Every structure is written in C-alpha cells, then in structure tokens.
Structure 1
Amino acid sequence: MSTPFLFGALRETAHRGGDDLLSAGLGLAGLRAAPVPFSDPATSTPAELRRRAIRTAWLGIADLGPLGGYGVVYGAVPNVPGREFHAFARLPHATQPHRVLAQVPDAFDAKARCLVVTASSGSRGIYGGIALAGAWGLTHGCAVAYTDKGAGSGYFDMATDTGVALDGTRAERGTAELEFAPSGDADDAGIAIKHAHSTDNPEAHWGEHVMQAAQFGLAMLDRAFPEQAPFTPHDTKIIAVGLSNGGGAVLQAAGIDDAGWLAGVVAVAANVNAPRVEAQGDDEGGHARTLYDYGSEAALLAPCALLDARFDDVRAALAKLPGNDIATWAARGASLHAAGILAAADTKAQAAEALARLRAGGWGDPALATAASTTAYDLWRAFIATYASAYTRSVVGAMPCGFRFSARGADRKPRAATPAERAAWWSDASGIAPGAGVFLVEDEPTHGADSAWPGLVCLRELWTGTNPAAARLRASVQATQPRLPRRGLPICLVHGAEDGLIPAAFSSDAYVAWLRTNDRDATYWRVPHAQHFDAFLAWPGFGERYVPMLAFAYAALDRMYAHVVHGAPLDRGPTPNATPRGTGALDAKHLALPR
C-alpha cells in the first residue's frame, strides 16, 4: 500500500470481566437502559466516557426496542473480553489527524486470521461502526479496526481553546495531542467540528483512512500476538465493511487497493458518489446523484411536496413525535412560489408541483415517505451546512451562508457551553449538530414563517451557482468519486429499497451500474421495505412498516466470511423477500433471509 502510516502516541487498555469490548459491560439490557450518569459531569473519567460513547454508537445505529428482534431474531451482544488500541493517524497531506482504534478479542481465531476494518457511519466518532463491524467481527473471532475517517465527535471549543485527548477527556491546546485542533484563535467563533472545519475535505480521502485503519489493525495484531506475528495482508483475511458514509468509505478503499490488501468488501446503504452512466433498460444507473445535490434540493422542495395527500399517513405518524417542524411546511410553498421556483399559487397545487420536480430528479414516492423524518427534524439543513463547510474547506468562524455551531440558551440565542456539556461531547455527540447541546445557528437568523429559507437557498446555490465558492464546492465533491476496484475483488452491496436519506437509485444502484459498464461486478441486495436508520424503527409508523437493515448486513458478512476464509462461492442468491412486522414483534419470517 502506498499510503504512509503515520500515527502518534498509542493507548492500550484491557477490557475484561464487567467491562468488555462490545458493550463496555452493559450487555443488551444495559444498552437499552437509561445512561449511567457520570460521577462528575465536568471531569468524566476515560472509562465513563468510553462506556457512554459505545452506548451512544449502538443506539444511533441499531433498533434495540422490545419488538425489533435484536438479540432474538438476529444479532447478539455477548461479553467479549480483549484489548483496545487507540491512536491518532495522519495522512501526509492532511492538517488534522483521524482517530484509529483496534479491538483485539482474547478469543481471536488464530486459524482464520481475520481482520474486519470499518469506517464510522455518518460523521460519528470512533465507535460509530461497533453495532455493525464490532457486533459481527468480534463474535466471529476477528479483530476489528476502526477509523473516524476525518470526522468524529472530538469537538473543539474556541472559547476555552480545548479539544479531546486520546483518552476522550478534554485538554487545552498545546497540553496534549488532540483529536482536532483547528487553525485560528477567534474565541467567539463557537464550536469547531472536524468534519466541517478541518479544511482537509476528508471525504475525498475516506479510502485512504480505511486503508490506514487496516494497516493499524495488522500492526496491533502483531503487538497483541507477537508469537503469531507478522500479520500481513497475505496471511490475514481483511474484510472491509461500512454503513452509510462508512459504506462509501470502504468502496473508496476498494478503488485504491491496487496491492490486493482487501479480501472482500461489504457496503451497506452506501453514500457513494458513483460516476454517472447512461441507464440501459431497467438499469437505474442514470440516476447517479451526490448527497449534496439531492439533499440541498430536498431541503427546499420536500417540506412542500410532502403535503401531498399521498403522504397523509406519514405526516400523521410523525406529528405524534415531539419537536418536529411539520406545522411550518405550508409556508415553504409560498416561499417557493415567491422565488419563482413553483408556478402554483395554492398549497395543494404547490405540493403536486414540488412532488413532480422531485420525481423528475429521480426520487421515488417510497423514498420520499421515509425522507419525511429527515425533513420533519430539519436534518437536511444540518447535513448540507456541514458538508458545505467541508467541501469549501472553510475555517471555523467562516462557514458558508452565515452558519456556525454553538450551544444555545432557552431564548435560542448562542451562548457559552458549560463544562459538563463540553465534557460529554466526545461520548454523546454524533459528529453533526444538532445534538449533545450543540446546535447549528445562523449569524443573522430570520424569524418569519419559513425562517430556514434564506440559508437553504444559499446552500443550494453553492451547487447550482457560478461563483468561486460554488466552483470550489463542486470540485471537492468531484474529488470524492471512487475509482474502479481491481477485477476479481469480491464486493457485496446491501441497500434498503425505501431509503430516504441515501436513496438507492442515486447511490448503490448507480455504483453497481457503473461497475457493470466497466467489466466489474458486485452482488447486490436491494431489500424491500428497508430504509436507512434502524434506530428510527422504534418511532411510530416506522417499526410497523420497515425491516432492520443490520439483519441483512450481518447476513452479507456471513456470506463474505464464508467466501474469503473458507472458500465458499459468493452466491448472492435472490434478494430476501422481506415483509414488515406490522404491530407485532419481528419474526425470522419477516426477514426471509436465505439459509
């Protein structure tokens, strides 16, 4: 592998007895229970922070509810004793490090010599892949290597000049090696988040982050089992797996793995910027679009389009949840009409017109129905503002469109974060605001009926416009396209047919079409009645309608492992004919997984 391996200090810890690798001793019951309070919220210990970070990562990805079937129908959370190794790795051209972690179980299978490597989903911290890669890999006797891929929850507070040290505790700049220390010293710039403010455009290098994590994992296996060393890609089976942004990361890694390190790749609901190819017959490859493009479009149009009568049931279910902004959606049609984007003048006709525009761009109604949750909680704006800052390589205090991140008071105005809030960011935050007491705020907010409109228009114009900032953003997005993987590399994709955050038509469908156009292939399950966020399945209207993606991800890993370790044919078989569970508990028959 050509990417140099540069990392700083190493932190090794043992986790046995009441503190294991997979759940920090919580087990399934503890993960489901309320979080254990910190002994001192302002100075939480590394062990407390790790336990909370693992719990946060599980609950952000998996459906652990009583009807969801986790631990009974699929998956498990056994006690897995072993060791952890943390370090900050750095790419030669990067200004900021990315965190890497290796988990080595005591029951490592020395005969199989398997290493699972993963990248966190979304912008999550280092444990962001534990419910997928950890839950599967550690229980199969594999070591697991993780990367935060240049994002993560190591937030930096400009007011106090503090960030996150290797053990998860907070430290002042200059007193310890930090997960993220932005350039600049403006103490009034709010909170800096690595994905948004590193100035490295980390997404363009996700594949390199994954390969560095694999290299780190092999090195830590050497350290853990010196009598079995060296561990190399030639005698150790490396399976790369990722979900969402993590799925895009492992597909990027597949494209730069010219040396043949990876034995197999499993990408689940991958956010992959596939090159566009012309659609052929039933092939959906012609719909390839990037998250920034369709996300900024949906942020503008979806609130209006989702007022169409065909989404009445979806809105009714979401309206039962607190904190949503469905009541403001009618104002969006008026904004779109005033801007000349929609011709219709009344709400019903505006909804129909907005829906027609989304459909013309490749959106299907099932994906839009699940996108209603993203829309109701203003998540499109949160995602796109963060990505806009990353793509334009903006420093903290100079995000596009007047956005920044800050704690917020009861009056919704920015305020200083408290010591307890800062201490919990690493363990409780998802890497994108809002969350853990950090909010996306605008320097000059408006207070009209459609207060988000000016910022969203600005963000959309960074995709459609011609100014230097828009050109810089589009160039950064172009740099995230994957390269073709080597011929013969086993690749398996799994995607929910009703995914409303990363619609399959824009991502996995397009990636598979691109592979086949270029004499490559992949096995692909486009799972019916599946969407993006298993964690949402506990919400009203979700668990009854959708099946959990993790069940199919584990099944794909089972097949990939059997292929690369035992030589079994990688036959995808038919896509499982999954069916929703309705109001009852999930049963194996609902998943229809192949035996």
Structure 2
Amino acid sequence: DKGTGMGVYDLASRTVNLIDGTRTLATEAGKDSNFTPIIEGESYLIDLPNRLAFKHAHSRQNPEADWGTNVLQSIEFAFYVLNLPENFGLIVGGIAVSTVTPENTTVIAASVSNGAAASVRAAEQDTEGLIDGIAVSEPNTNPQMTVPMTITQNGRSWSGENVGRPLIDYYTYLNLYQACANVATANAAAPLNLVSPELGANRCQSLRDAGLLESDTLAEQAAEAQQKINDYGILVEQNLLMPFHYFANTVESISVLYTNSYGRFGVEDNICGFSYAQIDATGVPITATQALLAAQFSDSNGIPPSAGVALINDNAQGGPSENRNSVSSNGVRDQNLPGALCLRRLYTGEDIDGNPLTGAELALHEQVVEGVEAIKVTGDLQDIPMVIVNGRNDAVLAPNHASRAYYALNRAVNSDNTVRYYEILNAHHLDAFNDLAGYNASFIPLHHYYFQALDLMYEHLTSSVALPPSQVVPTTPRGLTSVGTVPPITRANVPPIADNPVDAVLITTEGGTDGITLNVPDLATLPLSVAADDPTPLGSATNLTATLNVDVTYASYTWDLGDGTIIENEPAGTLEYTYAAPGVYTVGVTATTSSGLAFGSTVVEVDEVLTGLTAENSGPTSLGSATAFSATLETGSNATFVWSFGDGGTATGPNPTYTYANTGTYTATVTARNATGTLTAETVVTVEDAPIVGLTAENSSPNLFGQTTDFTATISTGSNVTYTWDFGDGNNSPATTGYQAVLSGDNEVPPITTEASGLTTFDYDPATRELSYVINVENIDNVVAAHIHRGFAGTNGPVIYWLFDPSGVQAPGGTLAPGSPISGTITIDEATAATLQTDGLYVNVHSTDFPMGEVRGQIFATGQASYTYEDVGTYTAMVTATNNVSTVVATTTVEIVASIGSGLVTPENGGAISIGEGDAAIIVIFPPGVVAEPVTISLTRELSPSVAFDGTVLRVLIITALDSEGNVIDNLELNGDYTIRFRYSDAQLSDLDLTEANLQAFVLQDGTYVEIPPATALATTAVDPSANLVTVLADRSGEFLVGTAQAGGGATTVYLPIVIRGTTE
C-alpha cells in the first residue's frame, strides 16, 4: 500500500529482492536491492546461521516514521507521470507545461490498516495542498494523547491510559496474557481456537509463578487473564476473535517486529532472542530454500511468521527452535514467556516487579520509546475531510486505542467537524477470514463500507454532498439456516451508512482541548428489529413484523423481501407475504422516521412439504469397508437428514458413509425434517466378512529333533479369519490365538510425524476370554497411557480397555519406558471377543507431546502356531484360513534333523560339545567374539567310515581344526577366528580320493551365519582358505542333491543338513 515492498534478505546466500520480484546477490543488486541490511560483524552469522532479515524489522530506519512522507512522494510521482508529454503534459515553446495539477485534480488518500495510518500521517504532514480528502478503514494510528479523553459505550467507559495506547503497548501486553486467556471458559466457543490447551495451561501457570496472576486454578487464571486484557482497553467484542489471531501468530509477530522497528535494531542485535528462519518438521531452523525465498515477494506480508518463514526462539532449551512449541529458557513449554517478558520490558522500561531497567536494557528501552514517539499522530488534519470506517470486532487494531481515540483527538484539536467515524457492527479487521467456519455466520465484510466511504468522500469533494454524521451501523450477520448452512449475503445484511440515521445510532463527542468524551452507542438492542414466523410451508403466507425500539412520532417502512420484491412506504410495521418458491430469504427493512433512518433484517425460510422419503445402501459390504447410504425425497426443501445405523452409530446428511465394526444384518433408519414435518425410512444392510486374499505360510525350520517349530500364516486382506494347521504328520491344531498390532505415527488419525514405533503382541484364550499382551515401544518420551480402542483403520473410536501393568491395568496410570516391554492380562467381554478377529480394534499409545496418540496399530490375527515333531524328516505343513465367505490354503516345507548327542550349545550357556561316531548331523555354533562362557568343541579324528540310515549310506562329515600354525588341534574355544577343514567319508566310495587337494578350508569369521538346506552338501574340491563361508556355500549349494547316485558306487547317498552359525541372531 505504500509501494515500499517488504524486503527479505537471506543471510546464508546474501541474496535480495529486486523490484520485479527476482532475487540476486546483494553485491550485484547494489542500490536496486529492495532491502540489504547493515550488519555489524559476522559473529551473528556464525552463531545463528540460516536466518532471514526483513526490512520493516531490521532496516534500522523505523520506516513507519516515513510512511506519511512516502504517501506524499507517491502523489508527487503520480502528478509527474500524468504530466509527461506522452500522457497529459504539454510542450509549449520547448518548455514542459503541467496540465494535471493539485488545483484541478481530486486526490483522495485511501487505504486500510498500516496503509490507512500512512494516509493519515500524510494528511497531517501535507504542506503543499496535495490531498483533498481521506477515506480509510481500520487505520493503525498511534495518537499523541495530548488531550484527556474518555470513551463510553453505554455502561462501559475507558479513560486515562486505557485509551489511545500505542500499538506496541497493547500488543506486548496481549503477548503476555492472551495465551492464557485462550483457555478461558468464556472462549471455549471461540472459532478456530486451535492453540494446544496444554500450552495455554503452561502459560497460565508460568504467569502465576511470575506473580502476574493471582488465581490458583487454571479456570480462574484464564478468566483473570481475560479480564486483565479487557481492563486494558480491549473490547469484549474482540474476545472471541483473539484466540484465532493468537493462533495465527498475530500477537507475537507484531510484538517482535515493532520492537525491532521502533528501536532501529539490526538483525544481529537478536533482540530478546527472536529471529526469523525457515524450519524443518521438528521446528529447527534450516537453510531457506529458493522456493521459499521466491514466494516472499508474492505471498509474505513482511511481518513473520508469514509465507513459510517462522518466528524462532533462539534462547530455547535444546537449541533454537520454532517459538510457540519451544521449551522456554525457564524449562517450560509455555510459548516463550521469557521472550514475551523481555519485549514488554523494552517498552515499559521496568521489570515485572516495577523496578526501572538499568544498563544495556535501559538503553534499548530508550531507543524503543524514541521510535514510538516518532510515529505518533497529532490529530490535526489541517481541515482535510476524512472518513474512517472500523469494525467493532476488530481484533488486530483495538478501536479504543486506534480509530476511536484518533477520531476523539481530532474532534478536540480541530473544531471544523470535517471528520466522520463510522463503526460497523459485526465486522472485524480481516475479511479474508469470513469464509471460515465460525466467522461466516457471525460477521459481514468491512470492505463493503470502505468502498462506501470512498464514494461518500468523492461525492463530498466533487458535489459538496454533506458527509453523513458519525454513527454505528447496525448490520445483521447471515446466521445459520435450520439445516446448518450459511445463506448468501444480501443488501439486507449490510445496510448503508445512513444520511439521516436515528439518534440512537449517533456517535457523539463532548468537550474540547481541556478534555473530550466520545460516546459510542452500544446497540445491544437495535433501533429496528425484524421478526418472521418462519419457517413457512411453501404456499403459505409469512408474517413479518418490524418493531422500532426508539421513540418517534411517525414512521414508514420499506420492505426488501429478498426475492427481488421491494414494497415501499408501508405505514404499518407488519407485512404478510407469500413466496413463490422454496428457499432462504434475507428480508431487509428500512424505517423512515421522524428521528431519521433505521435498518433491520431477518432471515425467512420457506420449505416445500416433504413426501416420498426412501433410503438405500450399497451393501452387501465386506467388513472393514464403508457402506454408502442415500436418502431421497420426491418433494421437499431445506431438509435435514439424521441417520441411525442400527449399531449405535449415527450421521447426518443425505449421503453418508459408515463402516460397521462387526458382520451382521442391520436396519439403518433415516429421518428427514423441515418446517413442514418429519418423515422416516429404513434400509437393511448386510455386512459380510472380507474375503481372504494373499495367504502365505512360513516356519522356523530347519530345526533339531526335539525343538519346537514356529509357524506363521499371514494374509493381505480378510476378516474374522480362523487358522487351522495340518503339520504333515497326522496331527492337527486348534484355531490360532495369536494377534498383534504394529504401532506407528502413520496409523494415527490424522497421521503424525514421530520417530516412535512399536509392537503389541497378544495371546487369547477363548475358554477364559483372557487376553495376554506385551507392549514394546521405541524412540518415545513421556508415555501417559496405552489403550485398546474400538474402531477400524482410518477412524477414531472409544477406549474400551487400558493396557498398563501391574497397577494400571484397566485403569488410568502406569508407565511405559522406551525399549522396556510391559505385559499384562485382561479379561475381555463377549462383544470385544467377537470383534477381535475383525480388525475393528486398535492399540493407541499416548504421550504428553501427542495426547491424542503418538503411535497406533490395528489388532489383527497373526495365524501363529507352534509344534514339536516326534521324528526327523521332511514335512509339508498346511494352513487353512477360513471365514464366512472364503477358505484359502497355503503350505510350507518343514525340515527336522537329528540332533547331536550332547545337545545344542549356545554362547549364552557355554559348555562343551562332542562330535563323534554315529552323529547323523553336525551343528556347530560359533559365537560372535569373546563370550563369557567359552564353548569347547571336541573333535574325533577318525570316524566310522559309514553310518546306516534307512537302508542307505550316509555320508559322514569329518571336521578338522587347525591352529594359526597349521597344527591339528582336538579342542578349541570359539572366541576368535579358526581355520576349519571339512571332508567327507563314504565306505561305498572306496576309491574316494582323500588327498589334501580334496580337503576344504574356510575361515569362519565372527558373526557368520549359514544354514545349508537338506538338498545341498559341501563340494569335495579345494576352496580358497580366505573365502567367505557364506559366499562359498551359496555359490555351490546345488552341486549335491538328496538321492543322487555317486560315481563308484550304486548306493543312494542321503545328505542331512549342516548348520554352521557364527551368531545366535
């Protein structure tokens, strides 16, 4: 609005904006740079890299002090351009002659907010007669309070320091208390009050600890904070908007930027530990991307946080991070109260105990105050007429401190009465918010009146039309219809600024330079109220009533009925009207009275009679999938639809979707209502199991004889699945009872970003309905609860069981430390047992950082079973997965091998193992590195040349161990590297060459893990002794197969598994 641009300088790349929005190096831009800061020293760049400097905050020029000059310069430049020869200028006798001059041209200075303040300052500074009039909306004026002032609004009044405060004064005050006031009970209904209540509670407590609040309970503290704000001159009409403004960082951003601007501080001064930067997902400053820097020109308002640039708390514990969510220097996540207190001190010049500042902080305070004085306005417009419009609900620029105070000051210092102030009910600072829920039904657009102010000023200057008197304009919000929608805005919602309004809406002043009082009507009761006996059935008449709440001697009424019909000059305040079509109509009434004009409006709903309601659904539906419902009417309008799905679930609207938690048949009921009556319809829904898809089976073999084999069946999709195992040896298992939930932040609704993860496993006993569980989570802090919830993936559901042990089971409490599993057993009810296999339950782990849940996972059947075979051999195990709509089978091959005589030795238990004659398979365990209890293997040099095995000949593995010098050793402790030689002996192959060339040597490294399947065996050719055993076995695994006849003998040779392990993992 002032043509100055917002100017962003990137300290990392040292790039700037040019006037066309492109970026280049500051050294190349030179004076064409939109903003290049003067930085004293390089230490700031080292200590706080990746920061950004903004012109308004860091130019060291207090640019607001020049706003008036900027506007006057822009007017002079406009005249210069208009008088160029190619435009309207003339060349007479070689001399340029201006044809467009201030004397023959109407100049209106007009803008909003900061630009509006610039227009006001320009008018006060205009010594050349450039400006003819001013039309502004919500100006950011900072008046010099040279005149004692009182502002009244019916029963409320403000005076002294509580009117006309500078912007930085009331914002640094709001910056202390608004975070706490957000959680006040009175603000619970505030639209978009989105800051974490936990952060608000922390701020309240920190204020109490600092002695700035006296109350003890949170509710009392929040109410006290809100009262302090209102006692500081902030209207109660602003209260419901302030929580969202605080969420949008308006309060913090203005407090930080204007402190820097008024104090003429540089970016390297790092005032109160605040800076600007782009941040990563954790809130830590990062190098600004080229995309973000480019976006600043078009998207940033120059007052960060804005367009992706965050406000940083450089004094945060743990290092600089995003201000609101940082841990303050006091160790509390209280939205950086220490930083807010610092900003407040720099304006007030005293600490929270009232002690004057000294030393460096005193010097900073003096700079800030000097800057504030430089931007104050006098109220003397030099008889230039001005129109101000301002929303009463303005939560950005407080009316008592800005527009109201400036208007009263002008009325005191200028007695010519050329300024008008129009206060608009149900309007606020940022019309862009009016499409948001909570705003759309409650507020009307203020800019509509800004445009009217321009028209009024133009007519006044060009046609000498008198400006309407100062007044409160009684607008009517759109509200909500009976079906919860917001009707379109109409003329009736935004009546004009009246040329001759009734006295009840007039804004008046009393007094002069010795003291002035501004009286603003409250209009809790509007001068004209309008009512209707709606909703009305189509074809019936609507009875409308307009009631004047002011004393008049006569009145006539003009009715705008919202359908294009206007009825004028009705003598009575009642009207009967029949609408031709159903709809929502805004009726506006203008009363012309002996005391002036009054405006009012109401909304009328006309409904068509409901007939022919039917309900349908998309079933049958697979469990876990959503069922779509639809309700249709043969006739009817403005209908609401309420559904009951037959299992306790409900929804609204004609076409909802719903996901049932269990299979079954349900009767869904829909009820349609409007003003004419109610209709009900039913539809029957069938919910079937989801078909089983993607069944796979796995097992833990090869295993030694006597060991338990673990089986796992998994599916891609399916519900209510039972698993039955046939282990291939004639024995079957009951249905599996294993369940698990894989926990992650991605499963939360909505998903959250966290490093945490986890797993919950369950074992269910159908006979007792006891559900045993083990929870393990990693990378998570401050866990406060873990539960089983009812609900499918993508939905949130109620808590049905607590999962804490021992004292916390089924009750609040308990702890869960990262990496430390907790376990317990709960008894579930029949309904939960029925839901257990439907994927309709989930585990949710909650933390202080994420009270709604940090990691979550659906509970699903795992198809797990365990079995111990009674004999060695190869088996084909089969699992059958079944539900009500499908049966699927999968198999897995199991290998059970003979065990060594002395049993399995593990690194954990130490001990010895003897490998001798008659062992059908060799299991050697090599522990990784030094073990506490060394494992000793005793090797027999000469083994029997053959072993009978089911009528065939078994090749026997002979192991020879060598020390580092190549000597054969009989005993070794497996806590290092050894060279192990393998060879085979087979009596049926009498001509087998057992020379050194046929011995195989491998270096077994710590950590080696190899399992040779039963269909493979070691080759009998030499292998490089330095070769990796894993690689060698993998390369040569296909050389020998079970049942293969060997050269030199007719017998079939059977090869059993050889397992060599270097670790137990």
Normalising by structure 2, report the TM-score: 0.40
Separation of aligned partners in 1, 2:428 and 2:213: 29
Q: 1:325 to 1:251 in 2, by over 3 A?
A: farther
Q: 1:490 to 1:285 in 2, by over 3 A?
A: farther
Query: Match of 2:269, SS?
Result: coil
Query: Match of 2:267, SS?
Result: coil
1:587 aligns with 2:480: no
**What's the counterpart of residue 232 of structure 1?**
101
Separation of aligned partners in 1, 2:238 and 2:383: 32
Q: 1:305 to 1:210 in 2, by over 3 A?
A: same
CA displacement at 1:263 relative to structure 2: 0.5
For 1:388-467, list aligned pairs within 5 A.
388-446=259-317, 447=327, 448-465=332-349, 466=357, 467=362
Does structure 2 conserve the Cα–Cα contact (< 8 Å) formed by 1:189 and 1:396? no
Q: 1:574 to 1:434 in 2, by over 3 A?
A: closer
Q: 1:211 to 1:487 in 2, by over 3 A?
A: closer
**What's the counterpart of residue 449 of structure 2?**
552
Deviation per residue, 1:474-526 (Å, 9 max, x gap)? 11111111134344311111111111111111111100111111134410101
**What's the counterpart of residue 513 of structure 1?**
408
Q: 2:65 aligns with which of 185, 196, 204?
A: 204
CA displacement at 1:372 relative to structure 2: 1.7
Q: 2:176 aligns with which of 267, 283, 300?
A: 300
Does structure 2 conserve the Cα–Cα contact (< 8 Å) formed by 1:153 and 1:427? no
**What's the counterpart of residue 68 of structure 1?**
none
**What's the counterpart of residue 147 of structure 1?**
3
Separation of aligned partners in 2, 1:280 and 1:344: 30
Separation of aligned partners in 2, 1:215 and 1:461: 41
CA displacement at 1:244 relative to structure 2: 0.9
Does structure 2 conserve the Cα–Cα contact (< 8 Å) formed by 1:325 and 1:376? no
Aligned amino acid, residue 301 of structure 1:
Y
Does structure 1 conserve the Cα–Cα contact (< 8 Å) formed by 2:82 and 2:89? no
Stretches of structure 2 that go unaligned for 5 or more consecutive residues are 91-97, 318-326, 350-356, 480-485, 499-1065
CA displacement at 1:189 relative to structure 2: 6.2
Separation of aligned partners in 1, 2:377 and 2:425: 26
Aligned amino acid, residue 307 of structure 2:
A
1:384 aligns with 2:237: no
471-480 vs 434-443, which deviates more? 434-443
Count of aligned pairs: 443
Aligned amino acid, residue 518 of structure 1:
V
For 1:103-252, list aligned pairs within 5 A.
120=1, 146-148=2-4, 152-176=5-29, 177-184=32-39, 186=42, 187=45, 188=49, 190-223=51-84, 225-227=87-89, 229-252=98-121
Q: 1:573 to 1:454 in 2, by over 3 A?
A: closer
Q: 1:358 to 1:575 in 2, by over 3 A?
A: closer
**What's the counterpart of residue 480 of structure 1?**
375
Separation of aligned partners in 1, 2:178 and 2:341: 14
Separation of aligned partners in 2, 1:259 and 1:227: 20
Separation of aligned partners in 2, 1:374 and 1:464: 24
Stretches of structure 1 that go unaligned for 5 or more consecutive residues are 1-119, 121-145
Larger Rg, first or second structure (1 or 2): 2
CA displacement at 1:588 relative to structure 2: 1.0
Q: 1:269 aligns with which of 121, 138, 148?
A: 138
CA displacement at 1:560 relative to structure 2: 0.5
Separation of aligned partners in 2, 1:389 and 1:399: 9
For 1:358-377, list aligned pairs within 5 A.
358-377=229-248
CA displacement at 1:438 relative to structure 2: 1.4
Q: Percent identity?
A: 30
Does structure 2 conserve the Cα–Cα contact (< 8 Å) formed by 1:284 and 1:509? no
Deviation per residue, 1:15-51 (Å, 9 max, x gap)? xxxxxxxxxxxxxxxxxxxxxxxxxxxxxxxxxxxxx
1:312 aligns with 2:165: no
Q: 1:325 to 1:246 in 2, by over 3 A?
A: farther
Deviation per residue, 1:318-359 (Å, 9 max, x gap)? 14x6xx444421111101100001111111111222222222
Q: 1:435 to 1:239 in 2, by over 3 A?
A: same
Aligned amino acid, residue 443 of structure 2:
Y
Separation of aligned partners in 2, 1:379 and 1:574: 29
Separation of aligned partners in 1, 2:411 and 2:446: 25
1:289 aligns with 2:138: no
Aligned amino acid, residue 566 of structure 1:
S
**What's the counterpart of residue 564 of structure 1?**
461
Separation of aligned partners in 2, 1:235 and 1:389: 42
Deviation per residue, 1:450-488 (Å, 9 max, x gap)? 142111111111112231111211111111111343443
Q: 1:412 to 1:439 in 2, by over 3 A?
A: same
CA displacement at 1:232 relative to structure 2: 2.1
CA displacement at 1:217 relative to structure 2: 1.5
1:468 aligns with 2:368: no
Does structure 1 conserve the Cα–Cα contact (< 8 Å) formed by 2:12 and 2:287? yes
> If each structure's strand is expressed as a fraction of its own residues, which one has the higher value?
2
CA displacement at 1:542 relative to structure 2: 0.9
Does structure 1 conserve the Cα–Cα contact (< 8 Å) formed by 2:422 and 2:470? no
**What's the counterpart of residue 149 of structure 2?**
279
Query: Match of 2:107, SS?
Result: strand
Normalising by structure 1, report the TM-score: 0.71
1:537 aligns with 2:434: yes
Separation of aligned partners in 2, 1:350 and 1:473: 31
Aligned amino acid, residue 38 of structure 2:
S
**What's the counterpart of residue 253 of structure 1?**
122
Does structure 1 conserve the Cα–Cα contact (< 8 Å) formed by 2:263 and 2:370? no
Does structure 2 conserve the Cα–Cα contact (< 8 Å) formed by 1:247 and 1:268? yes
Query: Match of 1:348, SS?
Result: helix
Q: 1:517 to 1:275 in 2, by over 3 A?
A: same
Separation of aligned partners in 2, 1:199 and 1:174: 19
CA displacement at 1:306 relative to structure 2: 3.3
Q: 1:326 to 1:233 in 2, by over 3 A?
A: farther
CA displacement at 1:572 relative to structure 2: 4.0
Does structure 2 conserve the Cα–Cα contact (< 8 Å) formed by 1:199 and 1:390? yes
Deviation per residue, 1:411-466 (Å, 9 max, x gap)? 21111112222222211211111122211112222423314211111111111223
Query: Match of 1:369, SS?
Result: coil
Separation of aligned partners in 2, 1:568 and 1:457: 51
Aligned amino acid, residue 269 of structure 1:
E
Query: Structure with the greater relative contact order (CA < 8 A, sep ≥ 6): 1 or 2?
Result: 1
Runs (4 or more) in structure 1 with deviation over 4 Å come to 283-286
Does structure 1 conserve the Cα–Cα contact (< 8 Å) formed by 2:203 and 2:335? no
> If each structure's helix is expressed as a fraction of its own residues, which one has the higher value?
1
Aligned amino acid, residue 304 of structure 1:
C
Deviation per residue, 1:97-135 (Å, 9 max, x gap)? xxxxxxxxxxxxxxxxxxxxxxx2xxxxxxxxxxxxxxx
Q: 1:530 to 1:352 in 2, by over 3 A?
A: same
